[in-house]
Amino acid sequence: MSRVSSVIAGDIGGTNARLALFENGAVAARWSSSSRRHKTFLQAFRAFLAEAVPGGISRDTPVCIAVAGVVEDDRRAAGTNLQWVVDCNEIISETGCGNCTVINDFEAAAWAVTVMPEQKCIQIGGAPPEKSGTKAVLGAGTGMGQAIVTFDRDGRAIVIRSEGGHCGFAPETPDETRLLSWLMSRYGHVSVERLLSGHGLVNIHSFLLGRPAASLPQGVENDRLAPEITRMALAGDDDSCVTALEMFCRIYGSEAGNLALKCLPSGGVYVAGGIAPRILPFLETSGFREAFENKGCMRQVLEQIPVFVIDEPDLGLVGAAVRAGMRPVMQP
């Protein structure tokens, strides 16, 4: 992958939109906003250019935007949890740039993992990682993303994107089986994302309180409820919140183990997303690691695979910059 001196990188999620200008590996200008503040991506992009890059960008500056959604031909994506469309043709018309790419947000996270300093990766169990081994990346935030990193014979990274967060949820305990049945009464198909996301934590908490499925809060309300459940669980202020977060962590560990079995990542499983760093004490002391390893005859295999929680708030921006041809300077 060729190296460039400046890059426009974006990380567009269901909750927040972040854009930045990287120059010579460092962030030269940064902009962020609630995704709901603007009706379209192009409106947000124009606000970024006006506030952070008033002089405009040169034709030689590539643009790479990571989007939480399905990408078409690296040129266009519609958000899964946000009614925005990101289209390279519009970006090129707006800026005059000569190179634009749209990638999935967890493809960006996977690219970022390839340059992440060890100091930003907190290990939870397992053996030391193999430097050139396959890596698996997953993370819960507004949604649940997954991707895989492998390497060619010359050591160059190859990122395989996926929509694995929309696979069906597989319960492993009696309580999880009841939770699945309860959610099926509302959604029909119950994906992993229905449990492992901000609204997923609200789903689990509502189930524990015995609320009818039809009364579950949706949309913007979940943005407020999930952080409050997390806060009260971490503080130990509410037993139902503690139990909900413990169940969330166990389901998280089980899904991380499922992904590990699909690609045998000797380089490690990397947990990204906005939730994991905030609940690190629970991930370290709950049933997360036990659920990760609890795969029957495959337990001994999974016991050796390390899991890392990534503590880097600009993960998506870094990954988009890497994909565009820049190696960002990462501070330990």
Convert the pLDDT of each residue in 34-88 to its tens digit: 888 899 999 999 999 999 888 888 888 999 999 988 899 999 998 777 789 999 9
Largest CA distance in the chain: 60
Quick one: pLDDT at residue 332? 65
Domain-by-domain residue ranges, the chain? 6-110+314-323, 117-311
- pLDDT of 159-211, one tens digit each? 999 999 999 999 999 999 999 999 999 899 999 999 999 999 999 999 999 86
73 contacts: CB under 8 Å, gap ≥ 6: none
If you average pLDDT over residues 101-116, what whole number do you get? 95
Other CB atoms within 10 A of residue 300 CB: 9
Q: Which residues of 309-332 are buried (b: 16+ CB within 10 A; e: fewer)?
A: bbebebbbbbbbbbbbbbebeeee
Tokens 């992993």 correspond to 192
Which is higher by pLDDT, 329 or 309? 309
> Is the pLDDT reported for residue 127 higher than 80?
yes
What is the pLDDT of the chain when averaged over all its residues?
A: 91
Report residue 286: phi and psi, to 5°: -85, -160
Report residue 321: phi and psi, to 5°: -65, -40
Q: CATH fold of 6-110+314-323, please?
A: Nucleotidyltransferase; domain 5 (3.30.420)
What architecture is domain 117-311?
3-Layer(aba) Sandwich (3.40)
> Is the pLDDT reported for residue 214 higher than 50?
no
Domain 6-110+314-323 matches domain 117-311 at the CATH topology level: no
Quick one: pLDDT at residue 223? 55
Residue % of the chain over a pLDDT of 90: 76
Quick one: pLDDT at residue 328? 87
Beta bridge partners of 67: 12, 104
